[in-house]
Each structure stands twice: as C-alpha cells, then as structure tokens.
Amino acid sequence: FMLGKFFLKQLIKSKMKDVPEAEIDKLVSLVEKNPDFFKNIASEVDQKMKEGKDQMAAVAEVVKKHEATLKNLTNS
C-alpha cells in the first residue's frame, strides 16, 4: 500500500509541477479516501478524450460536472 501511495504521489507531482508538496499530500489523501470516486472521474476523462477533447478540456468538463462532490470532499 505504501508503494501505491508513493507512485500516486509521483504521478501527481509529474502532472502538477508547480503545486506545493502540502497540496499534493492533501490530494493524495483525498484519492486514498475516495478511490472509487476518482476512478470514476478518470474514466470519464478518458471517455471525453476518446470523443476528441484534449486532456485539459476533458478534465475541466468532468471536474465541473462533479464540482459539488469535490467541494464536499475538500471541506471535510
């Protein structure tokens, strides 16, 4: 499990180079506590990309769709 956390953290760091370490730790913690929710988001982003959207547009659309849930997760 620690190995999975390490790889998750490295993946997030590689995608979000300018994000402070503390923010990355918060994000890793959120993903660990809600893996199914984030798997769902990832699969929705993949689907949008298959439909021809670029990655940033796909992520923005999916995050906007799940905005309320994400806010609840980050505030808890």
Give the integer Cα–Cα distance in Å for 31 and 23. 12
26-30, 39-43, 67-71: range with lowest mean pLDDT: 26-30
- Per residue in 32-42, pLDDT tens? 899 899 999 99
The pLDDT > 70 percentage for the chain reads 96
pTM beyond 0.75: no
The H-assigned helical ranges of 1-76 are 2-15, 21-33, 35-50, 55-65, 67-75
